[in-house]
């Protein structure tokens, strides 16, 4: 048996997460996970995502704790590491399955949306963001019975993305109307469009009433990345800069600083209790650090 787990470092949903791998075979990995009460849904192509409270029983069962760097080295050496192209293909297939669970009557709409989310100019606003947002919507809601309008708003909210706010959000809302009209009611489309347009105003989202549960869940899921581990947040900031590579450095820094200042000025970044519990503190630390770094570069 050659099972390895790294230290829980990655915060999400009220805990920290580690990764479990085998450097022998996926069959060994699946068998070990099943024997130690890890659900199959925790499997992510070449590893299992493991909550911190599961670590003691995994170690007691024979897994060896290693650093994150050693874990990746062992996974690559085993030949089991999934390539970026394979991961993107798997993400797309997974998302298509999710779409079909929500809108089985419109497979062509799901295919068009996935094509848009996979456009080559996207870095942050791509398939991984969509996948994470759908996951976080369900986590924030605490149930699998999420309102369909919220899920559809997530699918469409950046379906048009050219780096222009609020024009992109308004265009995305119009696209939702055009593609959904044959399949859902006018009232549902109107609600989807309302929610999409709200995502254009994250820096002024404090006006969103606490009673507007649908909007609160959608907006919190969209901003969840701000409360991620610093290494993940750093990748997010690099991806955002890459998406605005056409903007000169000085102009980008000024614009980004305005966004960061507006976000930090809000009394609360997240509108749901779970969002505040899971992400608020870390998000403020991340945003403040980025603003300080941008100010230093501008001095």
Instruction: Please indicate, yes or no, whether residues 59 and 204 belong to a single structural domain of this protein.
Output: no
Which of 82, 106, 137 is the last residue in one of the domains? Answer: 82
- pTM for this one? 0.81
Helix axes 167-180, 148-156, angle to 10 degrees: 120
Residues 6+ apart with CB under 8 A from 22: 2, 3, 4, 28, 29, 32, 78, 80
Q: What is the pLDDT of residue 110?
A: 97
Instruction: Please indicate, yes or no, whether residues 227 and 163 belong to a single structural domain of this protein.
Output: yes
Instruction: Please indicate, yes or no, whether residues 118 and 132 belong to a single structural domain of this protein.
Output: yes
Instruction: Please indicate, yes or no, whether residues 44 and 100 belong to a single structural domain of this protein.
Output: no
CA distance 136 to 130: 10
Which of 82, 108, 137 is the last residue in one of the domains? Answer: 82
Residue range(s) defining the domain that contains residue 202: 86-298
Q: What is the pLDDT of residue 271?
A: 93
Instruction: Please indicate, yes or no, whether residues 170 and 187 belong to a single structural domain of this protein.
Output: yes
Bridge partners of 4?
21, 64
Q: Is 70 exceeded by the pLDDT of residue 210?
A: no
Residues 6+ apart with CB under 8 A from 9: 16, 17, 18, 68, 229
pLDDT tens sequence across 3-39: 999 988 877 766 788 999 999 999 999 999 999 999 8
Instruction: Please indicate, yes or no, whether residues 213 and 277 belong to a single structural domain of this protein.
Output: yes
- Given a contact cutoff of 8 angstroms between Cβ atoms, the answer to whether 189 and 152 are in contact is no
Helix (H), strand (E) at residue 262: helix 249-265
Going by their DSSP bridges, the two strands 3-6 and 15-22 should be labelled as antiparallel
CA distance 137 to 144: 10
> What's the mean pLDDT when you consider all of the chain?
91
pLDDT band at 214 (very low <50, low <70, confident <90, very high): very high
- Given a contact cutoff of 8 angstroms between Cβ atoms, the answer to whether 150 and 133 are in contact is no
CA distance 56 to 295: 43
pLDDT band at 232 (very low <50, low <70, confident <90, very high): confident
pLDDT tens sequence across 69-103: 999 999 999 999 998 888 888 889 999 999 999 99
Instruction: Please indicate, yes or no, whether residues 220 and 120 belong to a single structural domain of this protein.
Output: yes
Instruction: Please indicate, yes or no, whether residues 69 and 124 belong to a single structural domain of this protein.
Output: no
What share of the chain in percent tops pLDDT 90?
A: 77
Residue 111: which of 179, 199, 188 has the closest Cα?
179
Instruction: Please indicate, yes or no, whether residues 74 and 185 belong to a single structural domain of this protein.
Output: no
Positive/negative CA dihedral, 79, 80, 86, 87: negative
Place of tokens 């593609």: 179
pLDDT tens sequence across 43-76: 988 999 999 999 999 999 999 999 989 999 999 9
Q: Give how many domains the chain has, as a whole number.
A: 2
Instruction: Please indicate, yes or no, whether residues 9 and 137 belong to a single structural domain of this protein.
Output: no
The radius of gyration of the chain from alpha carbons, rounded to an integer in Å, stands at 20
Bridge partners of 50?
18
- Given a contact cutoff of 8 angstroms between Cβ atoms, the answer to whether 66 and 74 are in contact is yes
Instruction: Please indicate, yes or no, whether residues 151 and 273 belong to a single structural domain of this protein.
Output: yes
Which of 82, 111, 134 is the last residue in one of the domains? Answer: 82
CA distance 127 to 215: 21
Instruction: Please indicate, yes or no, whether residues 70 and 108 belong to a single structural domain of this protein.
Output: no
Q: Is 90 exceeded by the pLDDT of residue 194?
A: yes
Q: Is 90 exceeded by the pLDDT of residue 41?
A: no
Q: How far is CA 232 from CA 9, 10, 224, 238, 268, in A?
A: 11, 9, 11, 10, 22
């Amino acid at each position: 048996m050659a099972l390895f787990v790294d230290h829980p470092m990655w915060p999400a949903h009220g805990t920290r997460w580690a990764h479990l791998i085998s450097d022998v075979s996926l069959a060994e990995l699946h068998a070990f996970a099943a024997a130690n009460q890890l659900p199959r849904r925790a499997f992510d192509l070449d590893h299992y995502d493991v909550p911190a409270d599961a670590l003691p029983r995994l170690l007691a069962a024979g897994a060896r704790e290693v650093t994150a760097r050693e874990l990746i080295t062992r996974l690559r050496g085993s030949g089991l590491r999934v390539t970026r192209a394979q991961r993107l293909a798997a993400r797309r297939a997974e998302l298509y399955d999710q779409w079909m669970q929500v809108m089985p009557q419109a497979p062509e709409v799901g295919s068009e949306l996935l094509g848009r989310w996979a456009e080559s100019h996207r870095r942050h606003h791509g398939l991984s963001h969509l996948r994470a947002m759908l996951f976080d919507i369900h986590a924030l809601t605490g149930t699998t019975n999420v309102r369909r309008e919220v899920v559809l708003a997530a699918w469409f909210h950046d379906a048009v993305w050219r780096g222009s706010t609020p024009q992109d959000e308004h265009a995305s809302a119009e696209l939702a109307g055009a593609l959904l009209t044959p399949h859902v009611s006018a009232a549902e489309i109107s609600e989807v469009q309302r929610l999409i347009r709200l995502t254009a105003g994250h820096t002024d989202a404090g006006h969103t009433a606490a009673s507007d549960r649908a909007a609160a869940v959608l907006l919190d899921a969209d901003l969840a990345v701000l409360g991620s581990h610093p290494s993940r947040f750093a990748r997010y900031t690099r991806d955002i800069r890459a998406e605005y590579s056409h903007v000169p450095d000085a102009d980008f820094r000024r614009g980004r600083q305005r966004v960061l200042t507006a976000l930090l000025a809000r009394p609360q970044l997240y509108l749901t209790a779970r969002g505040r519990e899971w992400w608020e503190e870390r998000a403020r630390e991340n945003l403040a650090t980025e603003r300080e770094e941008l100010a230093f570069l501008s001095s």
